[in-house]
Chain A
Amino acid sequence: MASIEWSSGRLRSVQDLTADIRLFEIERDGPFMPAAPGAHINVGVEIAGRPDTRSYSVVGADDDGLYRIAVKRVPQSRGGSAYMWSLAPGARMRVSAPRNHFPLSLGKGDYFLVAGGIGITPLYGMALALAETGARFRLAYAARTRADLAFADVLAARLGDRLSLHIAAEGERIDLAAEIDALPADAELYICGPLPMFEAARRHWQTRGRAPARFRFETFGSSGRYASEPFRVKIPRLGKDIVVPQNQSLLEALEDAGVEMISDCRRGECGLCTLPILETDGIVDHRDVFFSDRQKAAGGKICTCVSRVSGGEIVLDTPDRAG
């Protein structure tokens, strides 16, 4: 992975946007590099006493020298959110320069933005930027309950009827199929939200023969179809029997157990960390975007950096032929 420019920084302030979404204003030492819509920063966190890093989308494209990120406290998370929520204003942090894996291309005609839950964070700045340039776009933003909406007031004021809110608890879903069918042929879709939402949108996009390059997505928000729980993994070739704790990824657990692994993105995108599945009696919760639906259904391999097993154990192979 391309090297990350780290610098020290300080948590300037926090603000609760909802019961479980907190906004962090971070001041990074050194020259300020503005973050374009879709950009993220990495921050140093501590998980079970060990340093680690997490990526968070930068909220908005403010150029006042502060980076704003919104972190959702996820009880079954790998621990990054718990650490962030433990920080008080004034805390010192390690902060990277912004990078962008989810850039917004301007001047493309029509845009359809789809946000689910905390997935609003990258799309918020995109929507404001598009509103600024006068582009044709819509933002559909789904949340569990009305109280779970973050940024809805600003968005409503700036976007007017280009914003639609969908409250799951009130039975309102985004009709992805209808929305996609109504888009002009050259429209681009930008989506960030839970995996099932992403997969439904991508499936429909593909079925309709739309250009894959116009389907843009960000994966930080992707949680699985099932809640994270501890599970057991066995590697007969190495004689290993490991339990993956709830707040650790399969990849990290394997590494900790001394299994040599290669990886790069650690976001389920590149496919470097995948291992063959020998058998499983649980459900493989594929959380990556590397495998196609066909490959996931076939169940031959698992992307260890993000995917998990629910309700059972799994037996994996490794490429290690030393023994």
Chain B
Amino acid sequence: MTSAQKTSARVNAAPAETPTFPLNAWYAAAWSHEIEHALAPRTICGKEIVLYRRTDGAVAALENACWHRLLPLSLGWLQGDEVVCGYHGLVFDAGGRCTHMPAQETINPSACVRTYPVIERHRLVWIWPGDPALADPAEMPDFHWNDGTEWIGEGGTYYGLRCDYRLIVDNLMDLTHETYVHAGSIGHDAITAASFDVTHTDRTATVTRWMLGIDPPPFWARNLGKPGLVDRWQIITFQAPSVVVGDVGVAPVGTGAQQGDRSQGVNGCFLAAITPATATTCHYFWNFVRTFKKDDEALTRSINLAHVNAEGKGLYDQDVTVLEAQQRAIETHPRLPFYNLNIDAGALWARRMIDRLLADEAQRSAPAAAAE
């Protein structure tokens, strides 16, 4: 590894002007059910955006600043499918074009606000904050587990979580933390004892861990409903820049799960779509879905509450406490680096891919100097 390739995992407090997230990517901005025929503001990758559902059902995403005097358009209202600014009444259509100016018979041709490409898929609304000409639906991350058909679960969002989105990627790419952060629930000494494999492609990194012949932790023992030892798996895949899918489950020991036959076991997936809001805040769209007891709505509810609940005692609440404390520590110790352990391999591959996307973007915007 050359020193240039080490950068982001070692130096946390990057100078403010160094971008930490690529703009040319699809990011989750909202759950589909959250976007109705009403103005919904979001901060995505440093951009202020207002979302709303048009009468034909499609979602529009406009820059949340009026062309005239920058009042957030989200403080205005909808008139049909057009947004009326709440200050002096300029009207913009879903394409960002001004269609009305007060007290004049023509419209200034420069008047418009930026629009962002939107794709609604897998129960989420995704936004492309970068160059619209590069917005390619083929680059959508695979998040089909969330579409509510084969896999069942109800998740949620931490909006405005106060940490660099990459800290969540680190967190999910290394589950040894379960033993410490989540001691007493999903944590298990077997996790720290088991060895793991890390593999990667151009855009993905995968950490695979098999714990064979162990005592099942309580959640899995209950849902497996069979006594005895189990083989447990955690196969966690990162898709650049910020989606993580963790395939997890248990099967009775020796029934061939590792060889591909999971029919005797129970299987779930934790899903994470992490969206940078600013360099130090993010939105964490999460879900836990399963293929067992799919009709059991009480189970769906209890899994949801086990992750996030009003008392702040959920699994993810525990992570959030750690993540926000970690972000504060980075800010109070700007010169202290991160050191890396063997367990960070998955996170390091993930950060390598993010860095690569960032380098591509930097190059795209400064080709002249580089070319000569």
Contact = CB atoms under 8 A, between A and B. Distances in A.
A34 B365 contact: yes
A129 B365 contact: no
Interface in A206-234: 211-214, 216-219
A312 to B, nearest CB: 26
Contact of A292 (B97, B106, B133): B106
Contacts of A66: 368
A320 to B, nearest CB: 22
Nearest to A129: B133
A291 interface: yes
Interface in B70-109: 93, 95-99, 104-109
A136 interface: no
A269 B105 contact: no
A86 interface: no
Contact residues of A: prevailing secondary structure: loop
Contact of A217 (B93, B109, B132, B368): B109
B109 to A, nearest CB: 5
A162 B109 CA distance: 26
B95 A31 contact: no
B63 to A, nearest CB: 12
B105 A32 contact: no
Query: How many interface residues does chain A have, given as a range?
Result: 35 or more
A145 B240 CA distance: 54
Contacts of B108: 265, 269-271, 290
- Which has the most chain A C-beta neighbours within 10 Å: B95, B96, B115? B95
- Which has the most chain A C-beta neighbours within 10 Å: B97, B117, B367? B97
A211 B112 CA distance: 15
B99 A213 contact: yes
Interface residues of B, number: 26
Contacts of B371: 64-65
A295 interface: yes
Interface stretch (A97-105, A238-246, A251-259): A97-105
A108 interface: yes
A33 interface: yes
A185 to B, nearest CB: 15
Interface in B297-321: none
A105 B115 contact: yes
B133 A101 contact: no
Interface of A: 27, 31-34, 36, 63-66, 101-103, 105-108, 129, 133, 211-214, 216-219, 265, 269-271, 289-292, 294-295
Q: What 5 A-B pairs come out closest when comparing CB atoms?
A: A65-B368, A213-B97, A292-B105, A101-B110, A32-B368
Given A105-B96, A129-B133, A213-B95, 7 more contacts: A32-B368, A65-B367, A102-B109, A265-B108, A269-B109, A271-B104, A289-B109
